[in-house]
């Protein structure tokens, strides 16, 4: 597996396919994508997992973390997340956070992130805010 920084044009097709297949690819863009750090995990040169990090001050926010369904639950997302956390320390980030889908809090807990909010819904999906100090 290869873990690397990638650009937004590489991120969007996978983000679209996994997170919002019923929407347009343009819908998958978020404000700040052009300035974000984008990461990907490749298996045999195929991009199988993406994550975007938005840095503001000392805070690094994970957004749009997606793994192709056939590659989920194989440790790929965990490997990418560990890689990102190592790099963020080098970037001087002090805090790492995300709005975690309630169904995915387990992966974030394994990395020392704690729930910091009451559950909330966006677009019919339940979330909680999770964070950790770096």
Taking only the tens of pLDDT, the chain with its 134 residues reads 999 999 999 999 999 999 889 888 888 899 999 999 999 999 999 999 999 999 998 999 999 999 999 999 999 999 999 999 999 988 789 999 999 988 889 989 999 999 999 999 987 889 999 999 99
**Residue 40 parent element (H or E):** strand 37-43
Q: Provide the total of helices (H) and of strands (E) in the chain, helices listed first.
A: 3, 8
Q: Which residue has the tokens 């995990």?
A: 41
Residues 115, 128: contact at Cβ < 8 Å?
yes
Domain 2-96 matching CATH 3.90.1640.10: the answer reads no
Cα separation, 84 vs 79, whole angstroms: 9
3-state helix, strand, coil in the chain (%, to 5): 35, 40, 25
pLDDT on residue 54: 96
SS3 44: coil
pLDDT on residue 74: 95
Residues 118, 130: contact at Cβ < 8 Å?
no
The domain limits of the chain are 2-96
């Amino acid at each position: 597996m290869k873990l690397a920084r990638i650009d937004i044009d590489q991120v969007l097709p996978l983000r679209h396919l996994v997170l919002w297949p019923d929407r347009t690819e343009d819908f998958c863009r978020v404000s700040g994508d052009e300035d974000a750090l984008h990461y990907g995990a490749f298996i045999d040169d195929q991009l199988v997992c993406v994550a975007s990090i938005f840095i503001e001050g000392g805070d690094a926010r994970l957004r749009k973390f997606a793994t192709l369904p056939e590659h989920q639950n194989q440790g790929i997302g965990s490997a990418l997340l560990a890689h990102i956390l190592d790099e963020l320390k080098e970037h001087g980030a002090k805090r790492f956070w995300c709005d975690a889908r309630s169904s995915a809090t387990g992966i974030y807990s394994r990395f020392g992130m704690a729930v910091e909010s009451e559950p909330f819904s966006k677009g019919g999906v339940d979330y909680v805010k999770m964070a950790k100090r770096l």
